Amino acid sequence: MYPNAAFPARMAHLDGLRGVAILSVLGFHYFTCFQSIVPYGGAWAEFPLFRWGYLGVYLFFAISGFVIAMTLERCTGLEEFAVRRLARLWPTMLLCSLLSYATLSLLPSPWPPKPADFLPSLSFIDGFVWNKLIPGLDAGWIDVAYWSLFVEVRFYALAALLWFASPRLFAPLFFGLSTAVVGLYALLYVAGLGLRAEWLQWAFAAKFLPWFVVGVAARLVALGRRRLGVIGMGLAALQTVFLLCINDPKAHLVALVAVMSLMLGPLVSARLSQWLGARWLAAVGAASYSLYLLHQYAGLAIVGALSHAAGLKGSAALPMALGVAVACTGLAHAIYRHWECPINHRLVRGYAGWRRGRRARRLVSADGTAVARARPMR
């Protein structure tokens, strides 16, 4: 992997993969996860795409591995990378947190929010950490689906530190370190030292590293470095075996192979790439971030309120869930077009202009110093 490698600004098949991931997660949350809460109960709970839909989160992690590796290639330093990530994530998190908070405050639901919940949600750091730092705070996520953002930011930090330490050795370093972390995590559990193992989980998100490795390996394959990419895929499988040895519920070897196929398939098959890049699926995927943030607690609260108002129960309430899912998707697309993209671009452009101005001031200052030093003494 090389710095400043050329790549397209947006890959349609990646948005398609995001679309697959978010539709899977949405199906799981609406039809399988909350059977005791939703008015239609478990009517579609065992439908395979819904029953296993939570695996879409792991596909998101693999996509992040690919995208973050791609983003690092064009960043000139840790500061720029941090700004780009914040510009991409924080404004939309702010808006969606406010919308979810308002919805859950107005409608009856099992998840009443608290003002303190904004602290974990807007910092992307689990409430457990904040509650330890601030006794009596009692903060949690506004929507528990936000837990995956805490996993993401830990990967961002690790990837950025390794990249800016050595861009050319980033992939071998990441593959080696992640394998060592997951291996040690499993070894500590086998040795009966589970509490110590959990420190590795908190520091590195050890349970989820194999999925990010798949994404980075797929990026290498896209760049033509297939041998190293295949090694990365093999190490991701090995890490998953480590987790299976301690019966970790997050370990899914079959799912890992499926995610590998989804990440690699579009790189070798033009037909699959074209299918994943279908306009409707790519549009859903492009708006997947805000849809992920909005669909669960707020969406299900709306489903419950509308079904109750209409007197719908059992299978009769299923169309209400489908309607709310479509409405959430439409709202997410509007947020993407009119909030997420414009603010992201404005912040990134503003940072680039500020950096150019800072560089110019430094050059002027350096030139002035050089002229002063060149003046003859009187």
pLDDT tier at 10 (50, 70, 90 boundaries)?
low
On whether residue 127 sits in a domain, the answer given is yes
pLDDT tier at 374 (50, 70, 90 boundaries)?
very low
Per-residue pLDDT at 98: 98
Per-residue pLDDT at 243: 96
On whether residue 3 sits in a domain, the answer given is no
On whether residue 5 sits in a domain, the answer given is no
The mean pLDDT value for 364-373 works out to 56
pLDDT tier at 3 (50, 70, 90 boundaries)?
very low
On whether residue 1 sits in a domain, the answer given is no
The pLDDT of residue 75 is above 50: yes
Cα–Cα distance, 66 to 60 (Å, whole number)? 10
- Sequence-distant (≥ 6) Cβ neighbours of residue 228 within 8 angstroms: 171, 172, 217, 220
The mean of the pLDDT values for the chain is 93
User: Which one has a higher pLDDT value, 284 or 376?
Assistant: 284
Q: Copy the structure tokens of residue 95.
A: 């808006």
pLDDT digits 0-9 by tens, 114-167: 999 999 999 999 999 999 999 999 999 999 999 999 999 999 999 999 999 999
pLDDT tier at 57 (50, 70, 90 boundaries)?
very high
pLDDT digits 0-9 by tens, 305-351: 999 999 999 999 999 999 999 999 999 999 999 999 999 999 999 99
On whether residue 318 sits in a domain, the answer given is yes
The pLDDT of residue 264 is above 60: yes
Per-residue pLDDT at 1: 47
On whether residue 146 sits in a domain, the answer given is yes
CA angle at 333 for the pair 328 and 334, rounded to the nearest 5°:
100
The mean pLDDT value for 37-44 works out to 94
pLDDT tier at 367 (50, 70, 90 boundaries)?
low
The pLDDT of residue 287 is above 70: yes
HEC-encoded secondary structure of the chain: CCCCCCCCCCCHHHHHHHHHHHHHHHHHHHHHHCCCCCCCCCCCCCCHHHHCHHHHHHHHHHHHHHHHHHHHCCCCCHHHHHHHHHHHHHHHHHHHHHHHHHHHHHCCCCCCCCHHHHHHHHHCCCHHHHHHHCCCCCCCCCCHHHHHHHHHHHHHHHHHHHHHHCHHHHHHHHHHHHHHHHHHHHHHHHCCCHHHHHHHHHHHCHHHHHHHHHHHHHHHHHCCCHHHHHHHHHHHHHHHHHHHHCCCCCCCHHHHHHHHHHHHHHHHCHHHHHHHCCHHHHHHHHCHHHHHHHHCHHHHHHHHHHHHHHCCCHHHHHHHHHHHHHHHHHHHHHHHHHHHHHHHHHHHHHHHHHHHHHHHHHHHHHHHHHHHHHCCCC
On whether residue 7 sits in a domain, the answer given is no
Domain that holds residue 205: 12-373
Per-residue pLDDT at 133: 96
pLDDT tier at 358 (50, 70, 90 boundaries)?
confident
On whether residue 4 sits in a domain, the answer given is no
pLDDT digits 0-9 by tens, 166-214: 999 999 999 999 999 999 999 999 999 989 999 999 999 999 999 999 9
Per-residue pLDDT at 366: 61
The pLDDT of residue 376 is above 90: no
User: Which one has a higher pLDDT value, 140 or 361?
Assistant: 140
Quote the percentage of the chain above a pLDDT of 70: 94
Amino acid at 135: P
Name the domain count of the chain. Answer: 1
